[in-house]
Chains A and B, each alone.
Chain A
Amino acid sequence: MSDLLFFFEVTLAGLGSGALLSLTALAFVLIYKATRVINLAVGEMLMLGGYLFFAFAAGFGLPAWAAIPLAIAGGGLVGAVVERGLIRPMLGESPIAVFMVTIGLGSILVGLVELIWGTDPRALPAFMGNTPIFIGEAYVSRKIAIAFAVAAVVIAVFLVLFRYWRGGVALRATATDQAAAYSCGINVPGVFSLAWVIGCGTAAGAGVLLGSIGGISPAMGVFGLSALVVVIVGGLDSVAGALVGGLVIGLIEAWAGTYLGGEFKLVTTFGLLLVALMIRPYGLFGTTEIERL
């Protein structure tokens, strides 16, 4: 019985980090869908979000309710600048070149953060409280539970906007056929900017959640790698794939980390990636058009 309870607790924790993975994967998918750019800097945007929150909350002493939106807005602003300054001028270049630019961008962000805040990990000012939450008899860390709930709400809001908001229609139209979107009067470059702003803002928000669970460090961008696995497994352009894939990978990492040992976490993730790529190269939910990289 207690074995089962323990398994249940591990599973809940896995779902918690899975929800964060889903959220981060959603940032990837949003940017990819609209602009066909694989933004490898999403992990670093997430890290930047954590540090921006740290700067506003610890540096300027702002309360969490002000620091969180500021961190998200800061992430969105960086997204806008990057899209206008780096990505749009490369329109029409080979996808690999753009992909490389986002890798470079990631390194620049890490470098900047190290310059300003140093390389040591830091704890974020607590704003979630510590009282554990029990589901039946199973214990869940309060922070993980809150992160799960917030991620779930944000994802739900995204799904609704995607489906019913007029801007969501513009985004999906642009994703399906750029020329046709132009021909309908949709401001396609505007959609690109919007996708980068929302995507990077989302990643920054995920960074705040992740940082308040495990602290922040310049290396926390590796979380983006797991999210990358999620989108490759789930399909680069599939929102459903990001959601399901995030939860699945979160669960598997939690189980592998607990029962096989922490060093197996990433090994299992990437093993899964290989298997998934062999079975369905375009992702479990993706469209059957293989992106050559």
Chain B
Amino acid sequence: MAADILLDINNIEVVYNKTVQVLRGLSLSVGRGKIVTLLGSNGAGKSTTLKAVSNLLTLENGAVTAGTIRFDGNDISRLTPHALVRRGLFHVMEGRRIFEDLTVEENLTAATFALSGRGLKPTPFDLVYQYFPRLFERRNGRAGYLSGGEQQMLAIGRALIAQPSLILLDEPSLGLSPVLVEEIFTIIASINRDLGVSMLLVEQNAAVAFAVAHYGYIMETGKIVLDGPTERLVKDEDVREFYLGASGGEGTRSYRDIKHYKRRKRWLS
């Protein structure tokens, strides 16, 4: 296997409750230092794919019944979820899942367990506060009282504390205002650039995902149906129609193109 592949998912099948098959031979890979996006409609199996990688699937009575998943060259099937985190694979789950009863700082403290046994220096919480200054102001407040956007920042902040080499990000734009989505994705792109962290980014919002990702996969009912570098995907007619909402000519399309182009420029410059 090529040394520059960090995550390699090969032909996996996933079954819930020993009965419901959700993934049917899905393959994808994430290169070192890259942001790869995984798109698809509701219920396609995106979250399931991420849970299969982080091994959180077992908590929901799901299992990988065929295929292999390799992280950093090693098969992950026999590793517990916390052991995987301690090898540098961090899953930011759908719906943020911060610890609401804990303070912001305690949420970050919880993530320090990801450093156990790795011989790394503890991550200064200031790193998180540099990217998300708003969290610093709220650091002693209850995390449950944060706004949705701040909670998403905290969820990503926990990932930063864990010093991962790969972050699985499940719909970070969920329920956020467009301004906030833009802010968060700008930071996602800069985390990738500054720290060299690879990311597998699941999104419904294809436009923002394409703006930060290097490569994209599109899945439907449990399999990949299309993949390619982002530049190529954004030009693909089907992708434009179904995921970027450009429905055949007229003003809407060109308007979106311009907006999209602007965003892309701002984020990637």
| Interface residue SS majority, chain A | helix
Residues on the B chain within 8 Å of A169, using CB = 102, 106, 109-110
> Interface residue tally of chain B, by bracket?
20 to 34
CB interface residues, B 51-66, toward A, < 8 Å: 54, 56, 59, 61
Residues on the B chain within 8 Å of A92, using CB = 61
CB interface residues, B 109-135, toward A, < 8 Å: 109-116
B114 touches A182 (CB 8 A): no
Residues 14-50 of chain A: 1 if any B CB is under 8 Å from the residue's CB, otherwise 0? 0000000000000000000000000000000000000
Residues on the A chain within 8 Å of B98, using CB = 180
A183 touches B90 (CB 8 A): yes
Given A177-B97, A179-B56, A186 contacting B102 (CB threshold 8 A): no
Whose C-beta in chain A lies nearest to the C-beta of B103?
A: A169
User: Which of B67-75, B78-86, B181-189, B195-203 faces chain A?
Assistant: B78-86
- CB-defined A-B contacts under 8 Å, sample of 18: A166-B112, A172-B101, A173-B102, A173-B107, A176-B99, A179-B59, A181-B99, A182-B59, A183-B90, A183-B92, A184-B85, A184-B114, A184-B162, A185-B111, A185-B116, A185-B162, A186-B113, A187-B113
Given A92-B61, A172-B102, A183-B91, A188 contacting B82 (CB threshold 8 A): yes
Q: How far is the CA of A187 from the CA of B109 in the complex (A)?
A: 14
Q: Does A170 contact B (CB under 8 A)?
A: yes
- Residue pairs across A and B with CB atoms within 8 Å: the count is 76
Q: Does B231 contact A (CB under 8 A)?
A: no
Given A173-B99, A173-B102, A176-B102, A181 contacting B110 (CB threshold 8 A): yes
Given A169-B106, A173-B110, A183 contacting B99 (CB threshold 8 A): no
| 13 more CB-based (< 8 A) A-B contacts, given A177-B97, A182-B56, A184-B162 | A166-B113, A170-B113, A172-B99, A173-B99, A179-B93, A182-B59, A183-B54, A184-B111, A184-B113, A184-B114, A185-B114, A187-B113, A189-B80
Q: Does A268 contact B (CB under 8 A)?
A: no
Contact of A185 among B59, B102, B107, B115 (CB under 8 A): B115
Residues 233-259 of chain B: 1 if any A CB is under 8 Å from the residue's CB, otherwise 0? 000000000000000000000000000
Q: How far is the CA of A181 from the CA of B112 in the complex (A)?
A: 11
Q: How far is the CA of A166 from the CA of B98 in the complex (A)?
A: 17
Q: Does B100 contact A (CB under 8 A)?
A: yes
Q: Does B223 contact A (CB under 8 A)?
A: no
Residues on the A chain within 8 Å of B93, using CB = 179-180, 183
Contact of A180 among B86, B97, B106, B162 (CB under 8 A): B97
Of residues A181, A184, A186, A188, which shows the largest number of chain B Cβ atoms within 10 Å of its Cβ?
A184
Q: Does A269 contact B (CB under 8 A)?
A: no
